[in-house]
Amino acid sequence: MTASHTIEVEWDFTEAAYDDWNRAEKELRAVLLATTRGMQPWFADREAAAEHEASKLDPSSRYGDEGYSAFMDDVGVFWDQYWEHIAGFVIKEAFKLFEVFLESSAHRILRPYGSGLVRVGTDDSWNFQHCKQFYHDYLGIDVVPPRIAHIKWIRDKLSHLQEIRTSEGKQQLAAHIHDLSLNVEVTAEEEDLDLYHDDWTSVLGVRLTFTPLQTWRVLQLLRSHANTLARQFHGYSWPGTGTTQPLLDLRQGKAINPYRSNNKPGDSVFLKIPNPPASGTR
């Protein structure tokens, strides 16, 4: 295994939330690597076979696209559209794993305070706004800094759109791609990955199309951030270690936002609010 394939884990952090995420994320990387490495020569082989069949035809009767027709009759999809599907799947799956990691970590952090997340153990999960709110309000942690917000924007668009429809959206997409450095030159370390990348597949501000190498870069950014968060979460993992005043108040039954405007539930929508301790107890 070369340095390019080594997964960075900088500390001995064995909590279930991180361990589960780490295992699933490494499997997702393996899917991307194995699929790309296996399909690149396969596509090349099918293209050569199609051109060989076309070459057997009488030149006087050829119309020029016989190779293309033979390839599509055989395969049914060109490699550009194929990579588009693979990228969409991997990016959406990677962000889902990140969201599950945040949810599981939050629930584990809350348990020593007599609290927890309301929907853990059900087939529903808290929404992402509540996730950001919890980490900001109770731990003072921004779990969605700008680069992660860029990835979330891309993930959301991949889930709902085939292509960007407005000039404003195209500008936003171009800005996200630039800030994530997805279109920079292939590095020496990345060359060893043997992941498909070609200039034409750079995001042109219309279709949500990413190469396998760009997809790998998204995985790298998410892993780096998850590692940073895990180090922060680790401080809350053991009795007597890190805490915050909001968490201490929560143990006493005091939520930061018990109710929203118009008497609508606040934090209790996603957070279990402990009953206040009996008078005279701590």
As given in the structure block, the two tokens for residue 41 are 């020569």
Model confidence at 226: pLDDT above 90: yes
Query: Residue 239 has what pLDDT?
Result: 56
Query: Residue 101 has what pLDDT?
Result: 96
Query: Residue 8 has what pLDDT?
Result: 47
- CA 23 – CA 20 distance, rounded (Å): 5
Backbone angles phi, psi at 116, to 5 degrees: 165, 180
pLDDT band at 256 (very low <50, low <70, confident <90, very high): very high
Residues 6+ positions from 247 with CB-CB distance below 8 Å: 109, 110, 113, 138, 139, 236
Measured CA angle at 128 (ends 127, 131), to 5 deg = 95
- CA 13 – CA 24 distance, rounded (Å): 16
Query: Residue 251 has what pLDDT?
Result: 92
- CA 282 – CA 279 distance, rounded (Å): 8
Contact 148, 222 (CB under 8 A): yes
Mean pLDDT of the chain: 85
Q: What is the mean pLDDT of residues 35-60?
A: 86
Cβ of 253: how many Cβ atoms within 10 Å?
14
Q: What is the mean pLDDT of residues 8-30?
A: 77
- CA 135 – CA 43 distance, rounded (Å): 46
What totals of helices (H) and strands (E) does the chain contain, helices first? 9, 0
Contact 108, 16 (CB under 8 A): yes
Share of the chain above pLDDT 70, in %: 84
- CA 51 – CA 47 distance, rounded (Å): 6
pTM of the model: 0.86
- CA 224 – CA 190 distance, rounded (Å): 16
Q: Mean pLDDT lowest for which of 12-16, 76-80, 155-159, 162-166?
A: 12-16
Q: What is the mean pLDDT of residues 201-218?
A: 74
Q: What's the maximum distance between 2 C-alpha atoms anywhere in the chain?
A: 99
Model confidence at 186: pLDDT above 60: yes
| Beta-bridge mates of residue 259 | 265
Which residue did the predictor score with more confidence, 251 or 1?
Answer: 251
Q: What is the mean pLDDT of residues 17-28?
A: 95
pLDDT band at 2 (very low <50, low <70, confident <90, very high): very low
As given in the structure block, the two tokens for residue 47 are 């293209």
Cβ of 24: how many Cβ atoms within 10 Å?
16
- CA 198 – CA 209 distance, rounded (Å): 12
The radius of gyration of the chain's CA atoms, rounded to the nearest angstrom, is: 24
pLDDT tens digit string along 190-200?
888 888 887 55
Query: Residue 201 has what pLDDT?
Result: 46
Model confidence at 133: pLDDT above 90: yes
Model confidence at 10: pLDDT above 60: no
